[in-house]
Amino acid sequence: MSWFWVFIGFCLLIILHEAGHFFAAKATGMRVERFFLFFGPTIWSIKRGETEYGVKAIPIGGYVKITGMNPEEEVPPEVADRAYYRQDIWKRIVVVAAGPAVNIVLAFAILFGVYWANGREEIQQSVGAVRTGTPAAKVLQPGDEIVAVDGHFYAGLSTEERLVKFGETVASHKCEGKQVDGCVAKTPVQLQVRRDGQVKALTVYPRYDEEAKRALVGFSYGSVNHPIDAGTAAKEAGDAIWEVAKGTVHVFTHLFEAEQREQVSGVVGISDVGHQVIEKGLERALLLLAFVSLSLGLVNLLPILPLDGGHIFWSLVEKVRGRPVSLRVMERATAVGIALVLMLFFLGLSNDIGRITGEGFEVR
């Protein structure tokens, strides 16, 4: 059932993206001929007014066909004044930018709602839950405050830094020989915890966890949720979008670096992660939907044809030149753009296959 909801989520993002183009075109007086979900042979369609709506057979993307999108297209005289390339440049940019804008606004709205509803989670230094059957179950109790690990005291560090240091220290304890799921570390972790006001020294042998790819003790820290106001929620949503935008630009401007190429993921990978996330709860599913929507909007703004950003870029070039760019130049730019898009597609697919057949996607 989770795969069904992943599919519905993708369809929703595509429809909203294309709806942005559709309504912007209508608002600026352009003639919209078709609004279709997917590509290929038509499965179902219906015509309302001057626009045909429908669904096609190949579940990849969708499109809105506006009259006169091709400068050499023959346009009936009665609708010539509503053709895309007969409009002012600013109108064309508004129509093209509306699709990515809807995705970005949707991402902000979801993030804002989730952050405002859930508040800000503050991780504590005390043990929250101890998993049954783990090494921690034999020695730790909820409420124990971690004071030191292997003699390392983390006073002066932030909560996040303490969590990272704790994880690194525990992970340094390896099993004898090959690290396999469930193997016990050959050396113990020495813990000091404060329990009922007294400091106790505890010894625990962590076990290797295949999903986490490291040794674990088997507990989670406690946390407290603090309510936040709408302004703070909006700021945090904006900060999250800004960080993702910076990361996206960094990846695409450093694609020749192997480490950055590994960050590219495709539909297969997103679907696999979505399937896992939906099973972990509504909040995580909404956050994933927000970030996928954001990524869809940002990637479409890349200044290469046939992406929306490419149409915006060449419209700006036309504005600067004061005359239209020749169709031949646009065709060559489109050919290069399609090659780049296909490269990104196959790179993402290759990474997805590698993760699925190898280390897998880690969703914890």
pLDDT tens for the 364 residues of the chain, in order: 566 877 888 899 999 999 999 999 999 999 999 999 999 999 999 999 999 999 999 988 899 999 998 888 889 999 999 999 999 999 999 999 999 999 999 999 999 999 999 888 777 778 888 888 899 898 989 998 888 889 887 666 777 777 888 888 999 999 988 889 999 999 999 999 999 889 999 999 999 988 888 899 888 888 888 899 999 999 999 999 998 888 777 777 766 666 655 655 544 444 444 445 545 567 778 888 898 899 899 989 999 989 999 999 999 999 999 998 888 888 898 899 888 877 776 665 565 455 445 444 444 3
71 located within any domain: no
36 located within any domain: no
Cβ-proximal residues to 40 (8 Å cutoff; 6+ apart), any chain: 56, 57, 58
83 located within any domain: no
Domain boundary among 194, 226, 258: 226
Neighbours of 83 (CB within 10 A): 19
- For residues 108 and 134, membership in a common domain is answered with no
Q: What is the CATH number of the domain that holds 217?
A: 2.30.42.10
Domain boundary among 164, 194, 226: 226
- For residues 137 and 200, membership in a common domain is answered with yes
70 located within any domain: no
- For residues 141 and 218, membership in a common domain is answered with yes
Sign of the dihedral through C-alpha 65, 69, 75, 78 = positive
Cα(66)–Cα(83) distance, integer angstroms: 7
Beta bridge partners of residue 45, listed in sequence order: 54
Domain boundary among 226, 260, 280: 226
Task: Single out the residue of 33, 24, 17, 19 nearest to residue 92, CA to CA.
Answer: 24
- For residues 139 and 269, membership in a common domain is answered with no
Task: Single out the residue of 317, 312, 313 nearest to residue 97, CA to CA.
Answer: 312
Are 305 and 330 a contacting pair, CB within 8 Å?
Answer: yes
- For residues 254 and 277, membership in a common domain is answered with yes
56 located within any domain: no
- For residues 169 and 270, membership in a common domain is answered with no
Burial of 106 (0-12, 13-18, 19+ CB in 10 A): buried
Residue ranges with strand state E in the chain: 32-48, 51-66, 120-130, 145-149, 152-153, 189-195, 198-204, 207-209, 214-216, 219-226
Rounded to two decimals, what is the model's pTM?
0.75
User: How many domains does the chain divide into?
Assistant: 2
- For residues 130 and 192, membership in a common domain is answered with yes
- For residues 172 and 190, membership in a common domain is answered with yes
153 located within any domain: yes
- For residues 193 and 267, membership in a common domain is answered with no
60 located within any domain: no
- For residues 213 and 111, membership in a common domain is answered with no
- For residues 104 and 131, membership in a common domain is answered with no
Range of the domain at 164: 121-226
- For residues 222 and 137, membership in a common domain is answered with yes
Instruction: Please tell me the predicted confidence (pLDDT) of residue 152.
Output: 82
Which amino acid, residue 154? Answer: Y
78 located within any domain: no
Beta bridge partners of residue 58, listed in sequence order: 39
Instruction: Compute the residue count for the chain.
Output: 364
